[in-house]
């Protein structure tokens, strides 16, 4: 039972990342009709916003410590962050410790801008081109972004820890009547899950309860008619691209403490997220979210040694196996709409 609960928690946590990325992908596909293979790169860029903010907060000047030596035997040059000079060491350390939450605030405008630049600068020129062209150009863009990040940050992962207050694990076992330490789950992963629920809820509320959202939904359903009514739907769709980029970026920022960011992390999630979108149904926002959590949970259960002992290798293929089964039985995915990508 304890293993069951642990894997459910794991699945929800994994599913949070899948759902956030897939949500952005579906937003872009549903509004602009573009299959955006650079979406994983936006997730990665978000994580590197956290790395950059962390680097900026620890910008330092050198102070020579004569009592210690460096690896060459010279007097050690100690880095003293400018924040220490400004606020004192205790406050400086607290600000540095909270680099990742601070990054959330910074990431939103940055990611929206990156989204605008991507859409206006490149992707808009491919709206009327076949999906194959869109995939090629956005995939190429993803590789370019990756290489740029690698040039500046290197290929190795960069540790970006969560605030000290969120280090450690929450003991679910005690609450559920199990022995202590039987069902423990890291605080930050729980934070990630609740954060993703809030972001997903905010996006749905924005689309459901605002006039802007209503127009966007109308445009998604029938772009031509909305255009005939004199509404500049393209402009709104561009804004939606920016919002989708921000969602992916925020998913990346919050993921940075879970696994140290590296230039390739976007690609690791991209293929899985596309499977999530297809399983959920192309263009369906609720489908993307539901499929994200579903596949996350299935992947977690498939990784249990008891399951692998019975079905060796199932952990490597489970997501694709489920995708095949769902597409065979429900060709439009779980919540796919008729007519989307069927012309």
CB 207 within 8 A of CB 239: no
Task: Return left, alpha or beta for 164; rule: phi > 0 is left, psi -120 to 50 is alpha, else beta.
Answer: alpha
Determine the Cα–Cα distance for residues 202 and 51; give it in Å rounded to an integer.
25
Q: How far is CA 270 from the centre of its chain?
A: 10
Nearer to another protein by Cβ, of 224 and 309: the residue is: 309
CB 279 → another protein: shortest distance, Å? 19
Nearer to another protein, 37 or 301 (CB): 301
Applying CB under 8 A, among 96, 135, 218, 308 the residue interacting with another protein is 308
Q: CB-wise, 266 or 283, nearer to another protein? A: 266
Is 209 near another protein (CB under 8 A)?
Answer: no
273 scored as a contact of another protein (CB under 8 A): no
Tokens 């990742």: give the residue.
100
Q: How many CB atoms lie within 10 A of CB 105?
A: 10
Pick one of 58, 60, 94, 303: the residue that binds another protein (CB under 8 A): 303
Q: Which is nearer to another protein, 257 or 336 (CB)?
A: 257
Under the binding rule (CB under 8 A), the answer on residue 139 touching another protein is no
Place of tokens 């928690």: 9
3 binds another protein (CB under 8 A): yes
The CA-based angle 124-129-130, given to 5 degrees, is 130
**Cβ-based nearer residue to another protein, 238 or 262:** 262
Is-contact 104 254, C-beta < 8 A? yes
Q: Decide: helix, strand or coil at residue 321.
A: helix
Q: Which of 140, 154, 201, 331 binds another protein (CB under 8 A)?
A: 154
Nearer to another protein, 218 or 307 (CB): 307
Q: Applying CB under 8 A, what is the total number of residues that bind another protein? A: 48
Of the residues 60, 259, 286, 314, which one makes contact with another protein according to CB under 8 A? 259
Contact between 150 and another protein (CB under 8 A)? yes
**11 or 333: whose CB is closer to another protein?**
11
Q: For another protein, what does the binding mask look like between residues 170 and 199, x meaning CB under 8 A? A: -----------xx-xxx-xx----------
Q: Interface residues for another protein in 8-27 (CB under 8 A)?
A: 9-11, 13-14
Q: In 3D, which of 102, 96, 103, 114 has the Cα closest to residue 48?
A: 103
Does residue 299 interact with another protein by CB under 8 A?
yes
Among 80, 122, 135, 158, binds another protein (CB under 8 A): 158
Cα 140–Cα 146–Cα 147 angle in degrees, nearest 5: 95
Decide: is 258 part of the binding site for another protein (CB under 8 A). yes
Verify binding: residue 94, another protein, rule CB under 8 A: no
In the complex, what is the shortest distance from the CB of residue 78 to another protein, in angstroms, rounded to a whole number? 8
Which helix (H) or strand (E) segment is 64 a member of? strand 60-69
| 306 exposure class (CB count in 10 Å sphere: 0-12, 13-18, 19+) | exposed
Among 190, 197, 239, 304, binds another protein (CB under 8 A): 304
State which residue, 33 or 161, has the beta carbon closest to another protein: 161
Report DSSP letters for 186-234, one per residue: EHHHHHHHHHHHHHHHHHHHHHHHSHHHHHHHHHHH-HHHHHHTT--HH
H helix runs in the chain, sequence order:
2-32, 39-57, 82-87, 89-97, 99-121, 131-153, 172-176, 187-209, 211-221, 223-228, 233-255, 265-280, 285-302, 305-310, 314-329
**Which residues in this chain contact another protein in the complex, by CB under 8 A?**
2-3, 6-7, 9-11, 13-14, 68, 70-72, 76, 150, 154-159, 161, 168-169, 181-182, 184-186, 188-189, 258-260, 262, 264-265, 268-269, 299-301, 303-305, 308, 315-316
């Amino acid at each position: 039972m304890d293993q069951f609960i642990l894997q459910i928690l794991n699945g929800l946590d994994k599913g949070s990342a899948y759902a956030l990325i897939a949500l952005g992908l579906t937003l872009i596909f549903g509004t602009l009709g573009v299959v955006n293979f650079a979406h994983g790169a936006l997730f990665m860029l978000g994580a590197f916003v956290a790395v950059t903010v962390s680097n900026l907060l620890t910008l330092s000047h050198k102070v020579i410590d004569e009592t210690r030596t460096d690896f060459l035997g010279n007097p050690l040059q100690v880095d003293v962050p400018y924040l220490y000079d400004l606020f004192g060491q205790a406050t400086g350390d607290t600000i540095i410790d909270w680099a990742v939450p601070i990054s959330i605030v910074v990431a939103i405008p940055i990611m929206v801008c990156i989204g605008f630049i991507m859409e206006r600068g490149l992707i808009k020129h491919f709206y009327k081109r076949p999906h194959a062209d869109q995939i090629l150009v956005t995939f190429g863009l993803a590789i370019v972004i990756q290489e740029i990040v690698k040039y500046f940050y290197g290929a190795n992962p960069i540790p970006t820890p969560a605030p000290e207050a969120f280090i450690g694990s929450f003991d679910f076992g005690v609450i559920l009547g199990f022995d202590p330490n039987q069902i423990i789950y890291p605080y930050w992963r729980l934070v990630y899950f609740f954060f993703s629920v809030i972001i997903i809820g905010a996006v749905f509320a924005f689309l459901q309860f605002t006039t802007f959202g209503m127009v966007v939904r109308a445009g998604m359903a029938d772009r031509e008619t909305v255009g005939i009514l004199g509404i500049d739907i393209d402009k709104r769709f561009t804004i939606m691209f920016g919002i989708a980029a921000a969602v992916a970026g925020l998913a990346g920022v919050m993921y940075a403490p879970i696994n140290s960011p590296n230039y390739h992390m976007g690609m690791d999630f991209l293929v899985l997220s596309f499977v999530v979108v297809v399983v959920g149904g192309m263009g369906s926002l609720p489908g993307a979210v539901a499929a994200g959590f579903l596949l996350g949970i299935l992947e977690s259960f498939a990784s249990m040694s008891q399951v692998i002992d019975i079905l060796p290798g199932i952990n490597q293929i489970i997501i694709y196996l489920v995708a095949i089964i769902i597409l065979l039985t429900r060709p439009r995915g779980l919540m796919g709409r008729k007519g989307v990508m069927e012309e």
